[in-house]
Amino acid sequence: MNSYKIDEAQVQSSKFKTMPRLFKYLLKYKKRILGVFALMAIGTTVDLVNPLLTKSAIDNYISVKDITGLIKLILFATGINILAVLAIKLRMFLMAKTSNKVIQDLRQELYDHIQSLDLAFFDSRPSGKILARLIGDTNSLKDIIENAVTTLIPNLISVIAVTVIMFVMNWKLALAALCSLPFLIAGVFLISIKAEKHWKAKRQKSSNMNAFINEDLSGIKIIQSFRAENETDQTFQGLVWDDRKEFIKAVRWCDAFGSWIDLCWSVGTMCLYLCGIMVLGIDNVSIGTYIAFGSYVGMFWQPIMNLSNFYNQFINAASGAERIFEIIDKKATVVSKPDAPLMPQIKGKVDFNKVTFGYTPEVKVLKDVSFSVKEGETIALVGPTGAGKSTIVNLISRFYDIDSGTITIDGKDITQVQLESLRTQMGIMTQENYIFSGTIRENILYGKLDATEEEMLNAAKAVHADDFIRELENGYDTKLTARGGELSNGQRQLVAFARTMLSNPAILILDEATSSIDTKTELQVQKGIANLLKGRTSFVIAHRLSTIQNADRIFVIDHEGIIESGTPKELMAKKGEYYKLRQAQFA
């Protein structure tokens, strides 16, 4: 699934369950919604009264040439219609403001929940597909939330009220005017099934396109280096075409709503006048009644047309809402247990007891791995790529939960303490530490947001980042873009080192942390690392064996576990796998 080439599984959820759940977010603004309802009632009432005023003007004033009464009626009608227009404008303003707040609340909830999910969730899908839900799917809900109040409710009220008025005025004419209603319902049901199918498919294709764009821009340097622009352009064209194709199919089916309603509207209008002339007789119904009925027929079918347009939006938005709630309903698998105590101040003793783990149930990366690390000890992990070195340090930080066995720190099972209190006492450095947009100072302070200026400077000096930072034009206030493109690989790594140093972790994890630093800089950084390692338990993953000669012990990791362990001298004397690795590297 973690690919733009694979469609996400369509969320199987009833839209009539999903949308009420979405509309519950409006309850937070119920006072404002009540005001909208009041304004809506004014506009709807005036719309319903207008045909009656027309009937009264023809039958009671024009037919008897009562000009004075007609003028009074016209002035009254003008006044209430101006009031209705003002009410509509104010209603639209309030509802737009409310719908924007609801979208903001929903997006914030979705973002907060995504941050709480474990790494397995992010491993399973490209970040572009997550962005599609956070931005595109959320934006698609704005109109449906707004129109649910400003379109759905008033049009439903209008349809019901108009139906009642027509039956009160003349039930035979009402039946004739509404004779095509059963055909309308059947047609809408069949069309909606097809439209919903293609709107869901369109969401999938849009998600694939977003995933590709994110992946493509992230790797633009590689694409340009290998002159692969034409290939990626063709891929993008294919994804855009797939998205367009599903959109066109969905729109075609949605357009069928309007055509079908127009046909039913025309049939109903013809039946109205045929019934009036052929059944009731022209003399039995007043001209005002005919005109009023004609207006009410339009007032019946126009809301039906509006409701069909709303239903098109509803189908589209429902597929977006289903995708949003599918993530919100996803439970993180790595969580703190209820009432779990805080992790006490870590001293640094780490124990693995028969730990088995696999990223998938079929393939186990570690099998029955056991080892014990003393407080303050530095452990180096070496071995071939994919052997499980990074997996071991990820499990110590509890980014994943093990399949069996136990991992304890200072004798406490890490699954039995609060997750946040565990991770806040750990520092992790990788070869691709992220640099955020902002100043160098802000990036270092990310390690400890409430650190003093002196603490921040001491951390930078300890890893020898202070020297190059002061040589920059603006020093610590130098502004960086995302990923720190203004700095060299080594400089970015030194900033990340300073950030980790500032956090003062009890357990330190260095995962190929010096791989991006040149040899000269590494000699300086090793002094800072020595200070960083002092007094804390550390796990160092390194392919360059020259960087781990001061480790207390070395674990040689092969597939599924540890095959050798000991001090550097012991392993060299043993002439086993570590000896072979070192000989091969320094040959």
Q: Mean per-residue pLDDT for 385-389?
A: 83
Query: Could you tell me the pLDDT band of residue 332, with boundaries at 50, 70 and 90?
Result: confident
User: What six digits make up the tokens of 238?
Assistant: 């294919």
Element (H, E) at 344: none
| CA atoms lying within 13 Å on the CB side of residue 557 | 27
Opening angle at CA 195, ends 189 and 199, nearest 5: 145
376 closest CA partner among 503, 543, 505, 494 = 505
Share of residues in the chain with pLDDT > 70 (%): 88
Q: Mean per-residue pLDDT for 156-175?
A: 79
DSSP calls for 370-421: EEEE-TT-EEEEE-STTSSHHHHHHHHTTSS--SEEEEEETTEEGGGS-HHH
Chain length of the chain: 587
pLDDT at 307: 73
Specify the 3-state DSSP secondary structure of 479: strand
Amino acid at 235: T
Strongest mean pLDDT among 269-278, 339-348, 489-498: 339-348
Residue located via tokens 């996400």: 8
* pLDDT over 50 (residue 2): no
Residue located via tokens 């206030």: 477
**CB-based burial of residue 587 (10 Å sphere; 0-12 exposed, 13-18 middle, 19+ buried)?**
exposed
20 closest CA partner among 145, 126, 192, 177 = 145
**CB-based burial of residue 230 (10 Å sphere; 0-12 exposed, 13-18 middle, 19+ buried)?**
exposed
Query: Could you tell me the pLDDT band of residue 395, with boundaries at 50, 70 and 90?
Result: very high
Per-residue model confidence as pLDDT tens digits over 33-61: 888 888 888 887 887 788 778 878 887 77
Q: What span, in angstroms and rounded, lies between the C-alpha atoms of 452 and 460?
A: 13
Residue 170 Rama label (left phi>0; alpha psi -120 to 50; beta) = beta
Query: Could you tell me the pLDDT band of residue 16, with boundaries at 50, 70 and 90?
Result: low
Q: What span, in angstroms and rounded, lies between the C-alpha atoms of 24 and 27?
A: 5
Per the CB < 8 A criterion, the answer to whether 440 and 481 are in contact is no
User: What six digits make up the tokens of 191?
Assistant: 């069309």
Q: What span, in angstroms and rounded, lies between the C-alpha atoms of 551 and 540?
A: 8
Q: Mean per-residue pLDDT for 167-180?
A: 76
Dmax (CA) for the chain in angstroms is: 121
Q: What span, in angstroms and rounded, lies between the C-alpha atoms of 194 and 372?
A: 61
Per-residue model confidence as pLDDT tens digits over 410-435: 999 999 999 989 988 888 877 667 78
How much is the pTM?
0.68
Residue located via tokens 């991770």: 423
pLDDT at 263: 79
* pLDDT over 60 (residue 7): no
Q: Mean per-residue pLDDT for 308-319?
A: 73
Opening angle at CA 79, ends 76 and 81, nearest 5: 110
CB proximity list for 3: less than 8 A, separation 6 or greater: 126, 211
Query: Could you tell me the pLDDT band of residue 354, with boundaries at 50, 70 and 90?
Result: very high
HEC per residue, 190-215: HHHHHHHHHHHHHHHHHHHHHHHHHH
Give the least confident one: 204-208, 242-246, 536-540.
204-208
Per-residue model confidence as pLDDT tens digits over 255-310: 777 777 777 777 777 776 676 666 555 556 666 666 777 777 777 777 777 777 77
* pLDDT over 70 (residue 198): yes
Residue located via tokens 């998600």: 207
Residue located via tokens 């008033």: 154
Q: What span, in angstroms and rounded, lies between the C-alpha atoms of 55 and 263?
A: 27
pLDDT at 287: 67
CB proximity list for 282: less than 8 A, separation 6 or greater: 276
* pLDDT over 50 (residue 560): yes
